[in-house]
Amino acid sequence: MLNADNIIPTTCPYCGVGCQIDLHVKNGLIYRVNGRFDNAVNHGNLCVKGRFGFDYVHAQDRLTTPLLRHARGQSLESTSWDTALGYVTNRLQTIRAEHGPDSIAFLTSAKCTNEENYLLQKLARAVVGTNNVDHCARL
Ligand code: SF4
């Protein structure tokens, strides 16, 4: 049996249930995921995605930085989070000023935590001023 170098407590990234998990890491690789018993969300249980769906973490073609296309026709280039977030902020401000808040919509994800989804709707309603908020799980 492998002994982990690190056991990292975290939240399952797959859905808004937010099951609590322990990542067992050996030589920098996740080799096992266990559900945590000491919480009220999942009491040690995990569905098949949470228990076995972690191979993407080590995928060679996984995106690890934001990509930005500076102009139509140009290819995507790797950039920093500060640059990407600054670009998005400027574009949203410009679109809102030129076309109004309802020209912008937010689509969030079941892969976000409930807290992240809450923050996104707050950003939409309180900052941008639109109720155009939808979610991939609505269907
Ligand atoms: S995908 Fe499964 S294990 Fe992960 S949070 Fe959702 S129900 Fe829990």
Task: State pLDDT tens for residues 88-124.
Answer: 999 999 999 999 999 999 999 887 878 888 999 999 9
Q: Which residues contact ligand 1 via a Cβ below 6 A?
A: 12, 14-15, 17-19, 42, 46-47, 49-50
* CA angle in degrees (0–180, nearest 5) for 113-116-118: 110
19 vs 42, 101, 112, CA distance in Å?
A: 5, 35, 12
Amino acid identity at 125: R
Least confident of 5-9, 27-31, 107-111, 125-129: 107-111
Q: Which band of pLDDT confidence, cut at 50, 70 and 90, is reported for residue 75?
A: very high
Give the model's pLDDT for residue 1.
80
| Substitution site in 10, 11, 12 for ligand 1 pocket (most atoms within 8 Å of beta carbon) | 12
Q: Which band of pLDDT confidence, cut at 50, 70 and 90, is reported for residue 139?
A: low
Numbers of helices and strands, H then E, in the chain:
3, 7
* Number of the ligand 1 atom closest to the C-alpha atom of 11: 5
Domains annotated for the chain, with CATH where assigned, are: 6-58 (2.20.25.90), 92-139 (no CATH)
Q: Which band of pLDDT confidence, cut at 50, 70 and 90, is reported for residue 52?
A: very high
